[in-house]
């Protein structure tokens, strides 16, 4: 589904990603872990098309298309979804109008009929249950005055509505209490299928107790320096990132 | 000497004979001659060089002639969904035959009401253009809303402008609203000609005890319009004045909007939205005078500026020594969409009382890129995402239009302009 080859990206001339290689197949869950500043969030942002980052080398093929050639909205319409680390508050834009426009633009791109108001509301009600989100929240402006947990739940709710094939969760767990974490993870797990894939970007292993990964990759200094299965995450939880850093840094000095 | 040359622009206007209000006109004429038109150094017109602009555009400005409009023209100019009374003006002059006036509202030519204290609210000494209007207006209108009248439907003041020879259009409106009365005015100009014209408008509003006056204004006449307006309101105890000014175009527009809170528990709200592109220039000067205790004023002006347009906001608030327990709030926010667009914003608060709540703030920035990316990342096209954000910004002003049909109409105009149609 997703094939990242030798991806290099920089921001304002400073290289952040220095050669990422990653293959993600349908049905898989990949966790990207790593210390602060290793480039995890950058990778998520580059995949979603954030403009500040400049891709200097490499390619990203998503379902046979060169993802890097597409505008952010077209990536979303192709089925890439980024759950933001910091969802943006947008006063004056109603959650419902926003979502209906988004859903219908995505549907139009995919050659589907737009949803009328009734069908849209039915779909909304159904998906709201997934993340236990309150109707009252959605009658407000987008994310405005939402708590941290509410914002993250709203991200997963949007994900449910847009039915992506590749979901990228950028530190969705950070700042969540255990109940919110459980709700968010539940939502993600219910949306998984053998046709979709998930990339979970996280600093902590805790989330992976709930969303169990097939593969775990450790990102450090803009490269994947170690890959393994969920046991690797347990090891990181126990030993921290220092042993990996040391191994990589000593190799570099040799 | 330079002022003499400048005043030549309006010489024809001052020289011609005018009927009625002789004292008021003479007073205004002396005031005008004493002030002179605002020159390059005039502080009040620092960013809006209207005098120079007029001199460059017009050789001589003479009084505008009234003209005929057909009932069809009037009908086609009325926005969809409007239901209410219509007062028609051509080149600033009231046309009773084309207007519809309901029972309960008194409307006549100002000349038929010689006892009207014109110039007692919008005083000629404050502004040269205001003085010029008072000295030389023709066919002003007098509107009186009687005591306790609840005029449920809005009154549309429809100003048709058509000028081919560089003339001054000088509407003069006197509105008095009786005790406990409520009324809504919608002030809209329609341009019927291709050539530039200058509007110099004065509206005086007198709100009595516990009266409610809503004054909504739409300025969308295109790039031929040069305009200075002086709209000033006095309100008494327990009364309320709400105004919303929507400016969508104008070669050079200057709005002087002033409110005098003369009775306790009175409330004034002034909202404005300016969406400008091309070389449009819109200047909103507001002035709120708190003279008594326990009154409140709120002001919110927002601007979106593209291309080489220019917006000016100057908000004066006076809180006089007696005006304890005043609440006065003012906010001006701007979004610049182009490198060449300019905003000059200046809050001016003078507070002489010591027990008051006053705040003001102004911001000028670009569109929020992070919010734009967020919307795009959900599959919404960039242009529409941009429109969404701009409309969200503008909507905060539009929601203060309480008259539903007019709010809907303005919302559509704004959405069309911003490309944010849902």
- Whether A92 has its CB under 8 Å from any CB of chain B: the answer is yes
Q: Which of A52-61, A126-135, A150-159, B54-63 shows the lowest per-residue confidence on average (mean pLDDT)?
A: B54-63
- pLDDT band per the 50, 70, 90 thresholds, residue A36: confident
Chain A positions in Cβ-Cβ contact with residue B380 (cut-off 8 Å): 73, 98, 101-102, 105
Q: Which of A27-31, A113-117, B64-68, B253-257 shows the lowest per-residue confidence on average (mean pLDDT)?
A: B64-68
- Whether A76 has its CB under 8 Å from any CB of chain B: the answer is yes
Q: In sequence order, which residues have a C-beta less than 8 Å from that of residue B204 and are 6 or more positions away? A: B118, B119, B120, B121, B122, B173, B174, B175, B232, B233
Question: Closest Cα partner for B378 from A98, A63, A200?
Answer: A98
C-alpha–C-alpha distance, residues A248 and A226, integer Å: 10
Is there a contact between A88 and B374 if contact means CB atoms under 8 Å apart? yes
* Two structure tokens written together for A188: 């993600």
The string of DSSP codes covering B257-307 is: EEEEE-STT-EEEEEEEEEE-TT-EEEEEEEEEE-SSS-EEEEEEEEEE-T
pLDDT value of position B420:
59
What's the mean per-residue pLDDT of chain B?
92
- CB-CB contact of B172 with B110 (8 Å): yes
C-alpha–C-alpha distance, residues B157 and B173, integer Å: 10
Report the residue of B366, B373, B378 to disrupt the A interface, i.e. the one with the largest count of A CBs within 10 Å. Answer: B378
Question: Closest Cα partner for B300 from B344, B225, B363, B350?
Answer: B363
Tokens 């819109």: give the residue.
B282
- Whether A98 has its CB under 8 Å from any CB of chain B: the answer is yes
SS3 B389: helix
- CB-CB contact of A7 with A42 (8 Å): no
- CB-CB contact of B415 with B387 (8 Å): yes
Is it the case that residue B122 has pLDDT exceeding 50?
yes
CA atoms within 13 A on the CB side of B247: 36
C-alpha–C-alpha distance, residues B276 and B302, integer Å: 11
- Whether A90 has its CB under 8 Å from any CB of chain B: the answer is yes
Is there a contact between B371 and A48 if contact means CB atoms under 8 Å apart? no
- Whether B391 has its CB under 8 Å from any CB of chain A: the answer is yes
Q: Which residues pair with B328 in a beta bridge?
A: B297, B358
pLDDT value of position B5:
46
Is it the case that residue A134 has pLDDT exceeding 90?
no
* Contact pairs from chain A to chain B, CB under 8 Å: 77
Reported as a single tens digit per residue, the pLDDT across B7-31 is 568 887 887 777 789 999 999 999 9
Q: What average pLDDT does range B301-309 have in this prediction? A: 96
Which A residues, 12 through 31, put their C-beta within 8 Å of a C-beta on chain B? Answer: none
- Whether A166 has its CB under 8 Å from any CB of chain B: the answer is no
Q: What average pLDDT does range B305-327 have in this prediction? A: 96
ipTM above 0.90, yes or no: yes
- Residue B379 or A149, more confident: B379
The radius of gyration of chain A from alpha carbons, rounded to an integer in Å, stands at 18
Q: What average pLDDT does range A160-176 have in this prediction? A: 92
The pair phi, psi for residue B14, each rounded to 5°, is -75, -30
pLDDT value of position A130:
86
Give pTM, 2 decimals. 0.87
CB nearest to B379's CB, from A50, A51, A73: A73
C-alpha–C-alpha distance, residues B361 and A125, integer Å: 41
- Whether A88 has its CB under 8 Å from any CB of chain B: the answer is yes
pLDDT value of position B7:
53
* Two structure tokens written together for B383: 């242009």
Chain A positions in Cβ-Cβ contact with residue B395 (cut-off 8 Å): 92
Q: What average pLDDT does range B169-180 have in this prediction? A: 96
- Neighbour tally for B148: CB within 10 Å: 12
Is there a contact between A102 and B378 if contact means CB atoms under 8 Å apart? yes
- Whether A93 has its CB under 8 Å from any CB of chain B: the answer is yes
- CA torsion sign for B73, B79, B84, B85 is negative
Reported as a single tens digit per residue, the pLDDT across B179-220 is 999 999 999 999 888 888 899 999 999 999 999 999 999 998
Chain A positions in Cβ-Cβ contact with residue B382 (cut-off 8 Å): 71-73
pLDDT value of position B4:
44
What's the mean per-residue pLDDT of chain A?
92
Is there a contact between B369 and A76 if contact means CB atoms under 8 Å apart? no
Question: Closest Cα partner for B407 from B119, B108, B58, B80?
Answer: B80
In angstroms, the Cα distances linking B416 to B122, B391, B412, B413 are: 36, 10, 6, 5
pLDDT value of position B3:
44
pLDDT value of position B1:
38
Question: Closest Cα partner for B104 from B155, B63, B39?
Answer: B155
pLDDT value of position B2:
41
Question: Closest Cα partner for B381 from B338, B411, B416, B419?
Answer: B419
Q: What average pLDDT does range B258-267 have in this prediction? A: 97
Quote the minimal CA–CA distance from A106 to chain B in Å: 6
Quote the minimal CA–CA distance from B317 to chain A in Å: 28
Q: What average pLDDT does range B46-75 have in this prediction? A: 88
C-alpha–C-alpha distance, residues A142 and A151, integer Å: 9
- Neighbour tally for A111: CB within 10 Å: 6
Q: What average pLDDT does range B248-255 have in this prediction? A: 94
Question: Closest Cα partner for B365 from B396, B332, B392?
Answer: B332
C-alpha–C-alpha distance, residues A97 and A113, integer Å: 17
Is it the case that residue A253 has pLDDT exceeding 50?
yes
Report the residue of A50, A84, A85, A93 to disrupt the B interface, i.e. the one with the largest count of B CBs within 10 Å. Answer: A93
Question: Closest Cα partner for B210 from B169, B166, B263, B164?
Answer: B263
């Amino acid at each position: 589904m997703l094939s990242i080859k030798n991806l290099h990206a920089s921001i304002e001339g400073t290289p952040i990603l220095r050669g990422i290689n990653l293959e993600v197949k349908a049905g898989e869950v990949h966790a990207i872990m790593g210390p602060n500043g290793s480039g995890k969030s950058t990778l998520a942002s580059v995949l979603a098309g954030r403009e500040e980052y400049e891709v200097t080398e490499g390619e990203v093929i998503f379902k046979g298309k060169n993802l890097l050639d597409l505008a952010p909205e077209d990536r979303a319409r192709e089925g890439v979804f980024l759950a933001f680390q910091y969802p943006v508050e947008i006063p004056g834009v109603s959650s419902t109008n926003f979502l209906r426009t988004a859903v219908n633009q995505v549907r139009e791109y995919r050659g589907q009929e737009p949803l009328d108001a009734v069908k849209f509301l039915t779909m909304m009600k159904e998906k709201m249950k997934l993340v236990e989100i309150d109707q009252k929240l959605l009658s407000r402006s987008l994310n405005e005055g939402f708590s941290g947990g509410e914002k993250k739940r709203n991200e997963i709710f949007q994900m449910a509505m847009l039915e992506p094939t590749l979901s990228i969760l950028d530190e969705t767990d950070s700042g969540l209490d255990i109940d919110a974490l459980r709700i968010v993870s539940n939502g993600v797990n219910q949306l998984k299928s053998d046709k979709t894939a998930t990339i979970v970007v996280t600093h902590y292993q805790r989330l992976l107790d709930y969303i169990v990964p097939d593969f775990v990759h450790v990102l450090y200094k803009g490269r994947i320096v170690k890959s393994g299965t969920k046991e690797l995450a347990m090891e990181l939880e126990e030993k921290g990132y220092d042993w990996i850093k040391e191994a990589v840094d000593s190799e570099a000095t040799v | 000497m330079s002022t003499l040359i400048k005043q030549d622009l309006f010489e024809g206007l001052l020289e011609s004979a005018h009927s009625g209000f002789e004292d008021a006109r003479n007073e205004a004429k002396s005031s005008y001659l004493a002030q002179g038109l605002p020159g390059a150094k005039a502080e009040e017109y620092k960013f809006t060089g209207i005098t120079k602009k007029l001199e460059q555009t017009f050789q001589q400005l003479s009084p505008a002639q009234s003209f005929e409009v057909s009932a069809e023209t009037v009908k086609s100019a009325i926005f969809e969904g409007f239901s209410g009374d219509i007062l028609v003006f051509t080149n600033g002059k009231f046309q009773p035959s084309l207007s519809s006036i309901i029972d309960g509202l008194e409307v006549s030519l100002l000349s038929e009401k010689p006892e009207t204290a014109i110039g007692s609210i919008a005083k000629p000494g404050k502004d040269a253009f205001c003085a010029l209007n008072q000295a030389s207006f023709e066919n002003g209108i007098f509107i009186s809303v009687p005591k306790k009248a609840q005029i449920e439907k809005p009154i549309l003041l429809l100003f048709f402008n058509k000028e081919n020879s560089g003339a001054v259009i000088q509407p003069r409106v006197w509105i008095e609203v009786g005790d406990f009365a409520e009324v809504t005015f919608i002030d809209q100009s329609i341009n019927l000609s291709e050539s530039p014209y200058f509007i110099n408008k004065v509206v005086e509003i007198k709100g009595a005890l516990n009266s409610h006056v809503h004054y909504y204004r739409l300025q969308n006449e295109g790039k031929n319009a040069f305009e200075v307006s002086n709209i000033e309101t006095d309100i008494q105890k327990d009364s309320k004045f709400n105004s919303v000014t929507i400016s969508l175009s104008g070669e050079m527009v200057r709005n002087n909007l002033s409110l005098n809170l003369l009775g306790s528990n009175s409330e004034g709200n002034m909202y404005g939205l300016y969406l400008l592109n091309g070389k449009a220039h819109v200047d909103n000067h507001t002035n709120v005078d708190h003279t008594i205790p326990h009154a409140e004023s709120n002001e919110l002006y927002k601007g979106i500026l593209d291309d080489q347009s220019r917006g000016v906001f100057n908000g004066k608030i006076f809180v006089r020594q007696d005006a304890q327990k005043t609440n006065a709030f003012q906010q001006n926010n701007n979004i610049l969409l182009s490198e060449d667009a300019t905003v000059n914003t200046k809050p001016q608060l003078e507070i002489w009382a010591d027990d008051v709540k006053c705040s003001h703030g102004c911001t000028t920035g670009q569109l929020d890129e992070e919010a734009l990316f967020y919307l795009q990342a959900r599959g919404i096209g960039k242009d529409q995402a941009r429109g969404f954000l701009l409309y969200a910004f503008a909507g905060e002003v539009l929601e203060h239009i309480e008259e539903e049909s007019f709010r809907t109409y303005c919302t559509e105009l704004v959405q069309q302009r911003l490309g944010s149609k849902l």
